[in-house]
Amino acid sequence: MRIHRLFFAAPLLVLAVVSTSFADPLPMATKRLEAIFGGGSPKSTEDLKEMQEHLRKLAEKVVPCTVNVRVGQAQGSGVIISKDGYILTAAHVISKPNLNAVIILHDGREVQGKTLGLNLNLDAGMMKIDTPGDYPFVDMGESSQLQEGQWCMATGHPGGYEVGRQPVVRFGRVLRPASSNTPSIKTDCTLVGGDSGGPLFDMHGSVIGINSRIDPALSNNIHVPVDTYRNTWDRLVRGQKWGSRLGAKPWVGMTRVDGDGQVEIESVTENGPAALAGIKKGDVILQFDGKDTPNWEALKILMESRGPGDTVKVMVKRGENKLEYDLKILENPGRMR
């Protein structure tokens, strides 16, 4: 029997998107092109030319949806993902909900907006344009579907907004898709200050990540996986701020019995959050944060929208009784590996 730890908070299910209209995905001209962009290498000039034709179209599609955002003295990038102006960006760009923001569109036009919610653990943030209008937008893709080596494009305003320079295009590959252990995407689309909050696209022009951070190696460009925005959409739109610090992982201190059905607790860590709340071995978790948890996947997604420091109501079934406990989520104290 395999044991899954409950403090893995990885998005594996994809929930319905709120957006009602969709941008058309950019189709691949040939199967060959699809194979290359999916993770292969070009072999000839002909391959490269096919890639290039697609890239030029892709740039035309995604550059107009890339914006520069200013919140207080901070400046970063963002991407419009709905006609009425919802913008995905990085948590560290917006810093707080409900702040006034200035958004500079790709053509230099300035519009007004407000910051919405943010998840500090993953560096996910959202904002919305208030100035009425129909804005060019792109779709959110699925970051859970990414493959090593698949090609991608990043845009943003490296170094901050420059008059007369459109959002800047970078082309590269996914070096490491997001996983439960490392909930971020790594690519070799090079990023630098000012790119924060800008989008990472797949070759259909759907957003798969949001630019977040770098380290010295040119290959270490880190993006927030887009699935987390979808999974925590309601909280972000409502303007909630949660999480403690970048990279912090939630810990509840219990393991479950492996299986596809209901979530049965296999053990609780002594003095861990679950134990302190009153949850016991053998309990079946019915609800988390007021929502039903018919299976493990549902629970994982709910846990992702809550971070260390949050206290949530957990309803369990013990024998014939239904009991409710306040569970205070802590930060995972040790490295998991």
Q: Restricting to residues 55-84, which ones interact with another protein according to CB under 8 A?
A: 55-60, 63, 72-76
Closest separation between CB of residue 132 and another protein, Å?
Answer: 28
Q: Which residues contact 330 (CB under 8 A, 6 or more apart)?
A: 250, 251, 252, 253, 272, 273, 308, 309
Count the neighbouring beta carbons within 10 Å of the beta carbon of residue 170: 20
Tell me the closest approach of the beta carbon of residue 72 to another protein, in angstroms: 7
Considering the complex, what minimum distance in angstroms separates the CB of residue 237 from another protein? 22
C-beta closer to another protein: residue 16 or 163: 163
Residues contacting 11, CB < 8 A, separation 6+: 143, 144, 183, 225, 227, 228, 230, 231, 300, 301, 304
Stretch that binds another protein, among 45-53, 108-116, 230-238, 281-289 (CB under 8 A): 45-53
Check: CB of residue 210 under 8 Å from CB of residue 158. no
Stretch of 8-16, 85-93, 284-292, 297-305 lying at the interface with another protein (CB under 8 A):
85-93
> CB under 8 A: which stretch of 37-45, 109-117, 133-141, 229-237 binds another protein?
37-45
For residues 296 and 181, what is the distance between their CA atoms, to the nearest angstrom? Answer: 17
Q: Does 90 bind another protein (CB under 8 A)?
A: yes
Could you tell me whether strands 86-90 and 124-129 are parallel, antiparallel, or unpaired per DSSP bridges?
antiparallel
Pick 195 or 310: Cβ nearer another protein: 195
Distance from CA of residue 222 to its chain's centroid? 11
Number of residues that bind another protein (CB under 8 A): 77
Both tokens assigned to 2: 């395999």
From candidates 19, 25, 28, 47, binder to another protein by CB under 8 A: 47
Q: Does 28 bind another protein (CB under 8 A)?
A: no
Write out the binding residues for another protein, residues 122-151 only, by CB under 8 A.
123, 148-149, 151
* Comparison of 20 and 45: residue with beta carbon closer to another protein: 45
Nearer to another protein, 17 or 55 (CB): 55
Cβ closest to another protein, residue 66 vs residue 287: 66
- Least distance to another protein, CB of residue 111, Å: 19
CB contact burial 209-243 (16+ within 10 A = b; e otherwise): bbbbbbeeeeebbbbbbbbbbbbbbebbeebbbbb
Site for another protein in 166-225 (CB under 8 A): 166, 168-173, 175, 181-182, 184, 186, 188-197, 211-220, 222
70 vs 230 by CB, closer to another protein: 70
Site for another protein in 218-257 (CB under 8 A): 218-220, 222, 245-247
Phi, psi angles (nearest 5°) of residue 262: -60, 155
Nearest to 173 by CA among 197, 205, 147: 147
CA proximity to 154, closest of 60, 63, 41: 63
CB of 190 to another protein, least distance (A): 4
Please give the Cα distance from 27 to 101 (Å, whole number).
35
Q: Tell me the closest approach of the beta carbon of residue 139 to another protein, in angstroms.
A: 19
Which CB, 35 or 218, lies closer to another protein?
218
Distance between CA atoms of residues 53 and 69, nearest Å: 30
Nearest alpha carbon to residue 225 among 249, 191, 202, 250: 202
